[in-house]
Amino acid sequence: MSGQALSSGTTTRRRVLFGLLDADGWSWASLKAFFWFIVIIFMLGYIPDRAYYFTVFSTIDLGILAWSPVNLCPPENRTLPCPAPAGAVLPWEPSPTELALPAPRTDGAAVVAGTKLVYIGGSDGTAASDKVFVATLYPNGNFSSWTEGPALPQPLTNEAAAFLGGQIFVLGGSDSTGAPTTSAYVTTVDPATGALGPWQTADEAKLPLTLPAPRTGAAIAVAGDGLFLVGGDDGTGPVTSVWKSTLDAKGKLAAWQPQADLVRPQSGAGAALIGDFLWVYGGRDANGPTGAVQRGELGTIDGHPGTIVRFGIRNGPPNLPVARADAATFTANGAIYLVGGSDGTAPKGELYWSIPTANGELPAWQHLPQTDLPTAGLAGAAAVTSGSDAFLVGGTSAAGVITQSVRANLAPQPPFFQLGLFGATVPALKISGEIGQQLGYLNAAGAGTIDFILLLLIGWAFAHKEQARGILGRLRRRG
Protein backbone atom coordinates (compact mmCIF):
# COMPACT_ATOMS: atom_id res chain seq x y z
CA MET A 1 0.00 0.00 0.00
CA SER A 2 1.55 3.19 -1.16
CA GLY A 3 1.81 6.07 1.28
CA GLN A 4 0.91 9.72 0.58
CA ALA A 5 3.79 12.12 0.71
CA LEU A 6 3.46 14.86 3.24
CA SER A 7 4.33 18.45 2.44
CA SER A 8 7.23 20.11 4.14
CA GLY A 9 4.84 22.58 5.82
CA THR A 10 6.18 25.63 3.98
CA THR A 11 4.61 27.61 1.10
CA THR A 12 6.30 29.87 -1.44
CA ARG A 13 4.78 33.39 -1.38
CA ARG A 14 4.53 35.22 -4.68
CA ARG A 15 6.74 38.29 -5.03
CA VAL A 16 6.00 41.38 -7.15
CA LEU A 17 7.72 44.59 -8.25
CA PHE A 18 10.97 42.84 -9.22
CA GLY A 19 10.73 40.72 -6.10
CA LEU A 20 10.73 43.67 -3.70
CA LEU A 21 7.24 43.21 -2.23
CA ASP A 22 5.01 40.37 -1.06
CA ALA A 23 2.03 40.06 -3.44
CA ASP A 24 -0.29 39.42 -0.47
CA GLY A 25 1.29 41.98 1.86
CA TRP A 26 0.07 45.39 3.04
CA SER A 27 2.83 47.27 1.22
CA TRP A 28 1.77 46.04 -2.19
CA ALA A 29 -1.92 46.56 -1.34
CA SER A 30 -1.24 50.17 -0.25
CA LEU A 31 0.78 50.85 -3.39
CA LYS A 32 -2.03 49.55 -5.60
CA ALA A 33 -4.62 51.61 -3.68
CA PHE A 34 -2.54 54.75 -4.11
CA PHE A 35 -2.10 54.04 -7.84
CA TRP A 36 -5.84 53.68 -8.43
CA PHE A 37 -6.52 56.75 -6.29
CA ILE A 38 -4.28 58.79 -8.61
CA VAL A 39 -5.91 57.22 -11.70
CA ILE A 40 -9.41 58.13 -10.46
CA ILE A 41 -8.40 61.75 -9.74
CA PHE A 42 -6.70 61.97 -13.13
CA MET A 43 -9.68 60.59 -15.04
CA LEU A 44 -12.49 62.36 -13.16
CA GLY A 45 -10.68 65.60 -12.32
CA TYR A 46 -7.65 66.42 -14.45
CA ILE A 47 -8.89 65.24 -17.87
CA PRO A 48 -12.31 67.04 -17.66
CA ASP A 49 -10.51 70.17 -16.42
CA ARG A 50 -8.09 70.07 -19.39
CA ALA A 51 -11.03 69.43 -21.74
CA TYR A 52 -12.69 72.66 -20.60
CA TYR A 53 -9.56 74.79 -20.87
CA PHE A 54 -8.67 73.20 -24.22
CA THR A 55 -11.89 74.72 -25.54
CA VAL A 56 -11.67 78.26 -24.10
CA PHE A 57 -7.90 78.92 -23.84
CA SER A 58 -5.32 79.38 -26.58
CA THR A 59 -2.93 76.93 -24.88
CA ILE A 60 -3.12 74.30 -22.16
CA ASP A 61 -0.48 72.85 -19.85
CA LEU A 62 0.01 69.10 -19.73
CA GLY A 63 1.87 67.96 -16.66
CA ILE A 64 4.25 70.04 -14.54
CA LEU A 65 6.22 72.56 -16.60
CA ALA A 66 8.48 74.36 -14.14
CA TRP A 67 11.10 75.12 -16.79
CA SER A 68 11.17 74.53 -20.51
CA PRO A 69 14.18 74.50 -22.83
CA VAL A 70 11.88 74.58 -25.89
CA ASN A 71 9.62 77.64 -26.32
CA LEU A 72 7.70 78.84 -29.37
CA CYS A 73 5.91 82.22 -29.17
CA PRO A 74 3.30 83.74 -31.50
CA PRO A 75 4.49 86.32 -34.07
CA GLU A 76 2.41 89.00 -32.32
CA ASN A 77 5.16 89.20 -29.68
CA ARG A 78 7.56 90.30 -32.41
CA THR A 79 11.10 90.74 -31.07
CA LEU A 80 10.40 90.07 -27.37
CA PRO A 81 12.22 87.18 -25.69
CA CYS A 82 10.29 83.92 -25.60
CA PRO A 83 8.73 83.61 -23.12
CA ALA A 84 8.40 87.33 -22.38
CA PRO A 85 9.47 88.43 -18.87
CA ALA A 86 6.64 89.21 -16.45
CA GLY A 87 5.57 92.83 -16.86
CA ALA A 88 7.11 93.28 -20.31
CA VAL A 89 5.15 95.24 -22.92
CA LEU A 90 5.03 94.79 -26.67
CA PRO A 91 7.11 97.24 -28.71
CA TRP A 92 5.57 100.72 -28.95
CA GLU A 93 3.63 101.66 -32.09
CA PRO A 94 3.17 105.27 -33.30
CA SER A 95 -0.45 106.22 -33.91
CA PRO A 96 -1.40 107.35 -37.44
CA THR A 97 -1.38 111.04 -38.22
CA GLU A 98 -5.20 111.03 -38.24
CA LEU A 99 -5.08 110.50 -34.45
CA ALA A 100 -2.69 113.36 -33.70
CA LEU A 101 -3.72 116.01 -31.19
CA PRO A 102 -5.22 119.16 -32.78
CA ALA A 103 -2.20 121.12 -31.47
CA PRO A 104 1.23 120.28 -30.00
CA ARG A 105 1.08 119.62 -26.27
CA THR A 106 3.47 118.68 -23.48
CA ASP A 107 3.23 118.47 -19.69
CA GLY A 108 -0.54 118.02 -19.79
CA ALA A 109 -2.63 115.39 -17.99
CA ALA A 110 -4.60 112.53 -19.50
CA VAL A 111 -7.33 110.33 -17.98
CA VAL A 112 -9.58 107.53 -19.17
CA ALA A 113 -13.19 108.33 -18.25
CA GLY A 114 -15.37 105.38 -19.24
CA THR A 115 -15.09 105.13 -23.02
CA LYS A 116 -13.40 108.53 -23.37
CA LEU A 117 -9.72 109.44 -23.50
CA VAL A 118 -9.32 113.01 -22.23
CA TYR A 119 -6.22 115.20 -22.59
CA ILE A 120 -6.27 118.25 -20.32
CA GLY A 121 -4.32 121.49 -20.48
CA GLY A 122 -0.57 121.29 -20.96
CA SER A 123 1.70 123.62 -22.85
CA ASP A 124 2.53 124.25 -26.50
CA GLY A 125 6.12 124.84 -25.45
CA THR A 126 5.71 128.52 -24.72
CA ALA A 127 2.49 128.98 -22.73
CA ALA A 128 0.02 126.98 -20.67
CA SER A 129 -3.26 126.03 -22.35
CA ASP A 130 -6.86 125.74 -21.17
CA LYS A 131 -7.86 123.44 -24.05
CA VAL A 132 -9.31 119.98 -23.42
CA PHE A 133 -9.29 117.32 -26.14
CA VAL A 134 -11.50 114.21 -26.11
CA ALA A 135 -11.31 110.94 -28.09
CA THR A 136 -13.46 107.81 -27.98
CA LEU A 137 -11.77 104.55 -26.99
CA TYR A 138 -12.66 101.38 -28.87
CA PRO A 139 -12.57 97.82 -27.48
CA ASN A 140 -9.79 96.82 -29.92
CA GLY A 141 -7.35 99.28 -28.32
CA ASN A 142 -7.74 102.08 -30.86
CA PHE A 143 -9.29 105.50 -30.35
CA SER A 144 -11.04 108.04 -32.54
CA SER A 145 -9.85 111.42 -33.78
CA TRP A 146 -9.68 114.11 -31.11
CA THR A 147 -12.44 116.66 -30.65
CA GLU A 148 -12.41 119.74 -28.47
CA GLY A 149 -14.16 119.46 -25.11
CA PRO A 150 -15.14 122.13 -22.60
CA ALA A 151 -12.17 124.38 -21.81
CA LEU A 152 -10.70 124.70 -18.32
CA PRO A 153 -11.52 127.90 -16.42
CA GLN A 154 -7.85 128.87 -16.73
CA PRO A 155 -4.72 127.65 -18.55
CA LEU A 156 -2.83 124.96 -16.62
CA THR A 157 0.25 122.84 -17.12
CA ASN A 158 1.86 120.16 -14.93
CA GLU A 159 -1.49 119.68 -13.22
CA ALA A 160 -2.68 116.43 -11.61
CA ALA A 161 -5.85 114.78 -12.93
CA ALA A 162 -7.89 111.73 -11.98
CA PHE A 163 -11.22 110.08 -12.78
CA LEU A 164 -13.22 108.92 -9.75
CA GLY A 165 -16.91 108.27 -9.20
CA GLY A 166 -18.00 109.52 -12.63
CA GLN A 167 -16.11 112.81 -12.31
CA ILE A 168 -12.78 114.18 -13.54
CA PHE A 169 -10.76 116.17 -11.02
CA VAL A 170 -7.96 118.57 -12.04
CA LEU A 171 -5.76 119.68 -9.15
CA GLY A 172 -3.04 122.30 -8.90
CA GLY A 173 -0.65 122.95 -11.77
CA SER A 174 1.10 126.05 -13.08
CA ASP A 175 -0.96 128.94 -14.47
CA SER A 176 -0.20 131.17 -17.46
CA THR A 177 2.50 132.99 -15.47
CA GLY A 178 4.18 129.74 -14.44
CA ALA A 179 3.12 130.11 -10.80
CA PRO A 180 1.80 127.07 -8.85
CA THR A 181 -1.92 127.21 -8.04
CA THR A 182 -4.30 125.91 -5.39
CA SER A 183 -7.02 125.38 -7.99
CA ALA A 184 -9.34 122.40 -8.06
CA TYR A 185 -11.72 121.86 -10.97
CA VAL A 186 -14.29 119.16 -11.56
CA THR A 187 -16.46 118.01 -14.45
CA THR A 188 -19.09 115.28 -14.51
CA VAL A 189 -19.00 112.68 -17.27
CA ASP A 190 -22.38 111.65 -18.68
CA PRO A 191 -22.64 107.88 -18.03
CA ALA A 192 -24.69 107.28 -21.19
CA THR A 193 -22.83 109.34 -23.78
CA GLY A 194 -19.46 109.99 -22.13
CA ALA A 195 -19.87 113.73 -22.78
CA LEU A 196 -18.07 116.10 -20.41
CA GLY A 197 -20.09 118.71 -18.57
CA PRO A 198 -18.83 122.25 -17.96
CA TRP A 199 -15.91 122.64 -15.56
CA GLN A 200 -16.69 123.93 -12.10
CA THR A 201 -14.44 125.21 -9.36
CA ALA A 202 -14.42 123.20 -6.16
CA ASP A 203 -16.54 125.87 -4.50
CA GLU A 204 -19.10 125.81 -7.31
CA ALA A 205 -19.29 122.02 -7.06
CA LYS A 206 -19.63 122.33 -3.26
CA LEU A 207 -16.51 120.22 -2.74
CA PRO A 208 -13.79 121.27 -0.26
CA LEU A 209 -10.97 120.38 -2.68
CA THR A 210 -9.10 123.67 -3.03
CA LEU A 211 -5.51 122.75 -2.20
CA PRO A 212 -4.15 123.80 1.23
CA ALA A 213 -1.11 125.34 -0.53
CA PRO A 214 0.00 125.97 -4.15
CA ARG A 215 1.28 122.89 -5.94
CA THR A 216 2.49 122.06 -9.42
CA GLY A 217 3.90 118.74 -10.61
CA ALA A 218 2.22 116.81 -7.79
CA ALA A 219 1.69 113.09 -8.31
CA ILE A 220 -1.80 111.70 -7.92
CA ALA A 221 -2.93 108.19 -6.96
CA VAL A 222 -6.51 106.93 -6.94
CA ALA A 223 -7.48 104.79 -3.95
CA GLY A 224 -10.68 102.87 -3.39
CA ASP A 225 -11.75 105.48 -0.86
CA GLY A 226 -10.35 108.71 -2.29
CA LEU A 227 -7.35 110.51 -3.78
CA PHE A 228 -3.73 110.98 -2.72
CA LEU A 229 -1.80 114.07 -3.86
CA VAL A 230 1.93 113.53 -3.39
CA GLY A 231 4.82 115.98 -3.38
CA GLY A 232 5.07 118.61 -6.09
CA ASP A 233 6.60 122.07 -6.22
CA ASP A 234 5.37 125.12 -4.28
CA GLY A 235 7.26 127.67 -6.37
CA THR A 236 10.43 127.54 -4.31
CA GLY A 237 11.31 123.90 -5.00
CA PRO A 238 10.12 120.32 -4.47
CA VAL A 239 8.20 119.62 -1.25
CA THR A 240 7.50 116.61 0.97
CA SER A 241 3.78 117.12 1.61
CA VAL A 242 1.27 114.31 1.07
CA TRP A 243 -2.50 114.95 1.27
CA LYS A 244 -5.54 112.70 1.03
CA SER A 245 -9.15 113.48 0.22
CA THR A 246 -11.42 110.67 1.39
CA LEU A 247 -14.87 109.79 0.09
CA ASP A 248 -17.58 110.37 2.69
CA ALA A 249 -20.71 108.28 3.27
CA LYS A 250 -22.45 110.06 0.37
CA GLY A 251 -19.60 109.37 -2.05
CA LYS A 252 -18.33 112.97 -1.98
CA LEU A 253 -14.68 113.86 -1.59
CA ALA A 254 -13.89 115.54 1.73
CA ALA A 255 -11.29 118.19 2.57
CA TRP A 256 -7.61 117.35 2.19
CA GLN A 257 -5.98 115.77 5.22
CA PRO A 258 -2.20 115.66 5.76
CA GLN A 259 -0.53 112.26 5.66
CA ALA A 260 2.98 111.19 6.60
CA ASP A 261 5.48 113.35 4.71
CA LEU A 262 7.89 112.07 2.11
CA VAL A 263 11.39 111.42 3.42
CA ARG A 264 12.83 113.65 0.68
CA PRO A 265 11.22 116.36 -1.49
CA GLN A 266 10.07 115.04 -4.85
CA SER A 267 8.20 116.73 -7.72
CA GLY A 268 6.91 115.40 -11.04
CA ALA A 269 7.20 111.83 -9.76
CA GLY A 270 5.10 108.81 -10.57
CA ALA A 271 2.76 107.47 -7.89
CA ALA A 272 1.39 103.93 -7.81
CA LEU A 273 -0.89 102.49 -5.12
CA ILE A 274 -0.51 98.70 -4.99
CA GLY A 275 -1.95 96.82 -2.04
CA ASP A 276 -1.02 98.53 1.20
CA PHE A 277 1.87 100.49 -0.28
CA LEU A 278 2.17 103.77 -2.18
CA TRP A 279 5.22 103.92 -4.44
CA VAL A 280 6.66 107.31 -5.45
CA TYR A 281 9.43 107.21 -8.04
CA GLY A 282 11.41 109.42 -10.39
CA GLY A 283 10.86 113.14 -10.97
CA ARG A 284 12.96 115.93 -9.47
CA ASP A 285 14.45 116.68 -6.11
CA ALA A 286 16.35 119.77 -4.96
CA ASN A 287 19.31 118.78 -7.17
CA GLY A 288 17.42 118.04 -10.41
CA PRO A 289 16.31 114.75 -12.02
CA THR A 290 16.28 111.85 -9.59
CA GLY A 291 15.89 108.08 -9.62
CA ALA A 292 14.76 107.93 -6.00
CA VAL A 293 11.97 105.56 -4.97
CA GLN A 294 10.00 106.17 -1.78
CA ARG A 295 7.53 103.73 -0.23
CA GLY A 296 4.53 104.78 1.82
CA GLU A 297 2.84 102.28 4.13
CA LEU A 298 -0.93 102.41 4.61
CA GLY A 299 -2.49 101.74 7.99
CA THR A 300 -5.08 103.01 10.45
CA ILE A 301 -4.66 106.18 12.51
CA ASP A 302 -7.36 107.45 14.90
CA GLY A 303 -9.87 105.03 13.41
CA HIS A 304 -9.18 106.11 9.82
CA PRO A 305 -8.01 103.20 7.64
CA GLY A 306 -6.15 103.84 4.41
CA THR A 307 -3.93 106.49 5.99
CA ILE A 308 -0.25 106.71 5.09
CA VAL A 309 1.53 106.15 8.39
CA ARG A 310 5.13 106.47 7.21
CA PHE A 311 7.42 106.76 4.19
CA GLY A 312 10.71 104.96 3.77
CA ILE A 313 13.62 105.30 1.38
CA ARG A 314 16.80 103.31 0.73
CA ASN A 315 20.04 104.18 -0.99
CA GLY A 316 20.73 101.88 -3.92
CA PRO A 317 18.08 99.32 -4.95
CA PRO A 318 15.13 99.61 -5.36
CA ASN A 319 15.90 103.07 -6.76
CA LEU A 320 15.70 103.53 -10.52
CA PRO A 321 18.93 102.71 -12.34
CA VAL A 322 18.82 106.19 -13.91
CA ALA A 323 17.61 109.68 -12.95
CA ARG A 324 14.51 110.73 -14.87
CA ALA A 325 12.36 113.88 -14.77
CA ASP A 326 9.23 114.57 -16.88
CA ALA A 327 8.84 110.84 -17.50
CA ALA A 328 5.52 109.16 -18.27
CA THR A 329 4.50 106.79 -15.47
CA PHE A 330 1.68 104.30 -15.09
CA THR A 331 0.74 101.09 -13.32
CA ALA A 332 -0.86 97.95 -14.75
CA ASN A 333 -1.26 94.32 -13.68
CA GLY A 334 0.58 94.91 -10.41
CA ALA A 335 3.65 96.43 -12.12
CA ILE A 336 4.88 100.03 -12.11
CA TYR A 337 6.36 101.61 -15.23
CA LEU A 338 8.47 104.62 -16.15
CA VAL A 339 9.08 105.51 -19.78
CA GLY A 340 10.99 108.33 -21.40
CA GLY A 341 11.71 111.50 -19.47
CA SER A 342 14.87 113.57 -19.31
CA ASP A 343 18.16 113.14 -17.50
CA GLY A 344 18.58 116.93 -17.45
CA THR A 345 20.32 117.12 -20.82
CA ALA A 346 17.97 115.55 -23.40
CA PRO A 347 14.78 113.45 -23.73
CA LYS A 348 15.31 109.71 -23.31
CA GLY A 349 13.42 106.72 -24.67
CA GLU A 350 14.02 103.81 -22.26
CA LEU A 351 11.22 101.99 -20.47
CA TYR A 352 11.82 100.55 -16.99
CA TRP A 353 9.44 98.45 -14.93
CA SER A 354 9.32 96.57 -11.64
CA ILE A 355 6.76 94.37 -9.90
CA PRO A 356 6.41 95.02 -6.14
CA THR A 357 5.93 92.00 -3.92
CA ALA A 358 2.95 91.64 -1.59
CA ASN A 359 5.12 92.43 1.45
CA GLY A 360 6.32 95.72 -0.01
CA GLU A 361 9.63 94.77 -1.54
CA LEU A 362 10.63 96.18 -4.92
CA PRO A 363 12.85 93.87 -7.00
CA ALA A 364 15.37 95.25 -9.44
CA TRP A 365 14.02 97.39 -12.27
CA GLN A 366 13.89 95.61 -15.63
CA HIS A 367 14.66 96.97 -19.08
CA LEU A 368 14.51 95.51 -22.58
CA PRO A 369 15.79 97.44 -25.61
CA GLN A 370 12.82 96.07 -27.58
CA THR A 371 10.39 98.01 -25.33
CA ASP A 372 12.08 101.40 -25.65
CA LEU A 373 10.24 104.19 -27.46
CA PRO A 374 10.52 104.24 -31.27
CA THR A 375 11.70 107.86 -31.12
CA ALA A 376 15.10 108.87 -29.78
CA GLY A 377 13.48 110.28 -26.66
CA LEU A 378 10.29 111.75 -25.24
CA ALA A 379 9.66 113.86 -22.13
CA GLY A 380 6.48 115.43 -20.81
CA ALA A 381 4.13 112.84 -22.34
CA ALA A 382 0.89 111.97 -20.54
CA ALA A 383 0.39 108.25 -19.86
CA VAL A 384 -2.88 106.35 -19.50
CA THR A 385 -3.93 102.71 -19.64
CA SER A 386 -7.09 101.26 -21.11
CA GLY A 387 -7.71 97.53 -21.02
CA SER A 388 -4.52 95.83 -22.15
CA ASP A 389 -3.05 98.94 -23.79
CA ALA A 390 -0.95 101.88 -22.60
CA PHE A 391 -0.93 105.22 -24.42
CA LEU A 392 1.55 108.09 -24.31
CA VAL A 393 0.00 111.32 -25.61
CA GLY A 394 1.99 114.38 -26.69
CA GLY A 395 5.29 115.32 -25.10
CA THR A 396 8.58 116.89 -26.13
CA SER A 397 11.04 115.13 -28.42
CA ALA A 398 14.42 116.31 -29.62
CA ALA A 399 12.55 118.14 -32.41
CA GLY A 400 10.20 119.99 -30.03
CA VAL A 401 6.65 119.64 -28.74
CA ILE A 402 4.68 116.99 -30.67
CA THR A 403 1.07 116.09 -31.44
CA GLN A 404 1.57 112.34 -31.87
CA SER A 405 0.84 109.46 -29.52
CA VAL A 406 2.25 105.96 -29.16
CA ARG A 407 0.66 102.75 -27.94
CA ALA A 408 1.96 99.51 -26.43
CA ASN A 409 0.10 96.33 -25.59
CA LEU A 410 0.60 95.30 -21.97
CA ALA A 411 -0.16 91.60 -22.48
CA PRO A 412 2.43 89.68 -24.54
CA GLN A 413 1.12 86.27 -25.50
CA PRO A 414 2.54 83.20 -23.72
CA PRO A 415 4.31 80.53 -25.77
CA PHE A 416 1.88 78.45 -27.80
CA PHE A 417 4.21 75.45 -27.44
CA GLN A 418 6.61 74.52 -24.66
CA LEU A 419 8.38 71.26 -23.99
CA GLY A 420 10.08 70.44 -20.71
CA LEU A 421 11.24 67.45 -18.75
CA PHE A 422 7.96 67.06 -16.85
CA GLY A 423 5.30 68.38 -19.19
CA ALA A 424 4.37 70.42 -22.22
CA THR A 425 2.23 73.34 -23.33
CA VAL A 426 0.29 72.71 -26.53
CA PRO A 427 -2.03 74.85 -28.69
CA ALA A 428 -5.73 74.76 -27.91
CA LEU A 429 -8.96 75.91 -29.58
CA LYS A 430 -9.73 79.21 -27.78
CA ILE A 431 -13.41 79.56 -28.68
CA SER A 432 -14.29 82.98 -27.25
CA GLY A 433 -17.40 84.26 -25.55
CA GLU A 434 -20.40 82.49 -24.10
CA ILE A 435 -20.36 79.86 -26.86
CA GLY A 436 -16.83 78.85 -25.92
CA GLN A 437 -17.72 78.51 -22.24
CA GLN A 438 -20.79 76.38 -22.97
CA LEU A 439 -18.83 74.13 -25.33
CA GLY A 440 -16.10 73.90 -22.69
CA TYR A 441 -18.61 72.71 -20.11
CA LEU A 442 -19.97 70.13 -22.58
CA ASN A 443 -16.47 68.87 -23.37
CA ALA A 444 -15.66 68.57 -19.67
CA ALA A 445 -18.92 66.74 -18.96
CA GLY A 446 -18.37 64.42 -21.93
CA ALA A 447 -14.80 63.60 -20.92
CA GLY A 448 -15.88 62.99 -17.32
CA THR A 449 -18.74 60.70 -18.40
CA ILE A 450 -16.52 58.63 -20.70
CA ASP A 451 -13.87 58.29 -18.00
CA PHE A 452 -16.50 57.24 -15.44
CA ILE A 453 -17.75 54.52 -17.79
CA LEU A 454 -14.16 53.33 -18.34
CA LEU A 455 -13.63 53.12 -14.57
CA LEU A 456 -16.82 51.04 -14.22
CA LEU A 457 -15.59 48.67 -16.94
CA ILE A 458 -12.18 48.37 -15.24
CA GLY A 459 -13.89 47.60 -11.93
CA TRP A 460 -16.10 44.94 -13.54
CA ALA A 461 -13.06 43.36 -15.20
CA PHE A 462 -11.22 43.06 -11.87
CA ALA A 463 -14.32 41.57 -10.22
CA HIS A 464 -14.87 39.05 -13.05
CA LYS A 465 -11.35 38.13 -14.11
CA GLU A 466 -12.22 34.82 -15.86
CA GLN A 467 -14.95 36.42 -17.94
CA ALA A 468 -12.71 39.38 -18.74
CA ARG A 469 -9.90 37.05 -19.87
CA GLY A 470 -12.39 35.16 -22.06
CA ILE A 471 -13.58 38.39 -23.71
CA LEU A 472 -10.01 39.52 -24.34
CA GLY A 473 -9.15 36.12 -25.76
CA ARG A 474 -12.06 36.22 -28.20
CA LEU A 475 -11.09 39.76 -29.24
CA ARG A 476 -7.51 38.62 -29.93
CA ARG A 477 -8.71 35.68 -32.03
CA ARG A 478 -11.00 37.93 -34.06
CA GLY A 479 -8.15 40.39 -34.51
List, for residues 266-304, the tens digit of each pLDDT value.
999 999 999 999 999 999 999 999 999 999 999 999 999
Instruction: Dump the DSSP string for 113-129.
Output: ETTEEEEE--BSSSSBB
Q: Read off the pLDDT of each residue in 93-122 and give the average, rounded to a whole number.
A: 97
pLDDT digits (tens, 9 = 90+) for 29-66: 999 999 999 999 999 999 999 999 999 998 988 888 88
Model pTM? 0.85
- pLDDT band at residue 441 under the 50/70/90 scheme: very high
Q: What is the pLDDT of residues 148-174, one digit of tens each?
A: 999 999 999 999 999 999 999 999 999
Classify the C-alpha dihedral 122-127-132-138 as positive or negative: negative
Residue-wise pLDDT tens digits, 109-144: 999 999 999 999 999 999 999 999 999 999 888 999
Distance of CA 307 to the CA centre of its chain: 24
- The DSSP symbol for 309 reads E
pLDDT mean across residues, the chain? 94
Query: What is the per-residue DSSP string for 387-427?
Result: TTEEEEE--EETTEE---EEEEES-PPPPSEEEETTEEEEE
How far CA 102 is from CA of 38, 119, 144, 380, 386, in Å, comes to 65, 11, 13, 17, 21
Distance from C-alpha of 324 to C-alpha of 102, rounded to nearest angstrom? 28
Residue length of the chain: 479
Cα(264)–Cα(266) distance, integer angstroms: 6
Which of 362, 345, 170 has its CA nearest to residue 281?
362
Q: What is the mean pLDDT of residues 197-203?
A: 97
Q: What is the pLDDT of residue 5?
A: 53
- Residue 181: φ, ψ to 5°: -120, 165
Q: Specify the DSSP class assigned to residue 56.
A: H
153: preceding bond cis by omega (within 30 degrees): no
Quote the pLDDT of residue 3: 52
Own/partner pairs for 353-356, CB < 8 Å, 24+ apart? Answer: 353/87, 353/88, 353/89, 354/87, 354/318, 355/86, 355/87, 356/274, 356/275, 356/277, 356/279
**Comparing C-alpha atoms, which of 2, 121, 82 is closest to residue 417?**
82
Average pLDDT over residues 197-218: 97
